[in-house]
Amino acid sequence: MAALLVAAGRGLRAGDGEPKQYRLVNGRPVLAHALMPFLAEPAIERVAVVIGEGDEARYANAIAGLDSARLVAPTLGGETRQASVRRGLLALSRAGFDGIVLVHDAARPFVSRAQISAAIHRLGAGDLAAIPAMPVTDTIKRTDTSGHVAETPPRDQLVSVQTPQAFRFGPLLEAHEAAAAALQHGFTDDAALMEWAGHTVATFRGDPANVKLTHAEDFLRANARHGAVLVTRVGTGYDVHAFGPGDHVWLGGVRIGHDQGVVAHSDGDVGLHALTDALLGALADGDIGTHFPPSDPQWRGAASAQFLAFAAQRVRERGGRIDHLDLTIVCEAPKVGPHREAIRAEIAAITGVAIGKVAIKATTSERMGFTGRREGLAALATATIRLPEED
């Protein structure tokens, strides 16, 4: 018996950053969570993983520390899940495998030993294919291309299906080969391929906990469900730039006309720089110069939005969320008040947090100090985030 885990997707719906199967849930890569119950099942002789091109180092990092005795060398995946499964099956076939194969999404880290066992036993009853299915609790509609309801199928016949899906290896590989030869590339699970090939697919009860991580917010729920306690962490940031020749400044991602510019390597946005450092501070993840060294020519004139977006993404990649961003800008001029709402909206858009969680304040320094003498401007920021406790 073999398990085939598909992990070659890019996780586009989960947002920018690492492919989702390599992100951490409760301090461990999603792929490692998904692999462990298969590696612990004595009936499974080999476990094969299909990975994306260029993911070799991520894969090595994800499996480090796992019991890898039954893990075979990874295979490179294809453009679609269907293509990736086919490549994995062909690799198993080349290695002489025949028997029962359990196909599983690496993006389902909460698969249990009980589900694996149920898949194996359901197939043992003489079927060619057996899949975990959950009755749907919402009413499901079919809509037409204009978004109007075309049909309401009877709910008592509808189920949503999960993985691991269990198959007799030979018929599954044949179905994949036949679909590839017929240029049928749109199957979203392997059971659908077997149905297309004319086979009967049995079902067994799925597990509501066995969710597929698809969107960024699924990671928050995953950490919570996994028992990870989210703790509040606070970071602060500070930045200054001297005024210089020019006709505008960038503040909080907004271009503001002014009789001077700022002297800076990037666009010199003190607001976004302070916020970036506040987020990195809350993460204990270096500072803006660690990740975007001023000595690196690629950041010359760079839009600072990308620095802040990067820091916000680092929070999400660690399974965290941004609770609040508070920015104070210190200058005699330009006046910040007229731009306050535009700046809040811009920061909310860059970080992906609700505008109600972004505060912008401004003050002069009463003509004292370098800001008071109109030599430059400064910003202070506080970021409040929540991270899994063990992180």
Ligand X SMILES: C[C@](O)(CO)[C@H](O)COP(=O)(O)O
- Residue 101 within binding range of ligand CTP, rule CB under 6 A: no
Of the pair 6, 230, the CB lying nearest ligand CTP is at 6
- Residue 10 within binding range of ligand X, rule CB under 6 A: no
Is 10 annotated to bind a ligand? Reply is: no
Of the pair 166, 230, the CB lying nearest ligand X is at 166
CB < 8 Å & 24+ apart, contacts of 363-372: 363/328, 363/329, 363/330, 364/330, 364/331, 364/332, 365/330, 365/332, 367/332, 370/240, 370/242, 371/330, 371/331, 371/332, 372/332
- Residue 314 within binding range of ligand X, rule CB under 6 A: no
Is 144 annotated to bind a ligand? Reply is: no
Who's near 288: CB < 8 A, 6+ residues apart?
273, 276, 277, 280, 307
- Residue 207 within binding range of ligand X, rule CB under 6 A: no
- Residue 81 within binding range of ligand X, rule CB under 6 A: yes
- Residue 9 within binding range of ligand CTP, rule CB under 6 A: yes
Which does residue 322 touch among ligand CTP, ligand X, none (CB within 5 to 8 A, set by kind)? none
What token pair was written down for 226?
């996994």
Using an 8 Å Cβ cutoff, are 136 and 242 in contact? no
DSSP structure class, residue 299: G
- Residue 189 within binding range of ligand X, rule CB under 6 A: yes
**Which range of residues in 77-85, 276-284, 287-295, 303-311 is near ligand CTP by CB under 6 A?**
77-85
Which amino acid would we find at residue 53? E
Who's near 296: CB < 8 A, 6+ residues apart?
none
Who's near 144: CB < 8 A, 6+ residues apart?
150
Backbone φ and ψ for 365, nearest 5 degrees, come out as -110, 35
Of the pair 7, 120, the CB lying nearest ligand CTP is at 7
- Residue 84 within binding range of ligand X, rule CB under 6 A: no
- Residue 90 within binding range of ligand CTP, rule CB under 6 A: no
Residues that bind ligand CTP (CB under 6 A): 6-14, 21, 50, 77-81, 84, 105-107, 212, 214
Name the binding residues.
239-241, 265-266, 273, 287-289, 363-366, 370, 373
Name the binding residues for a divalent metal cation.
239, 241, 273
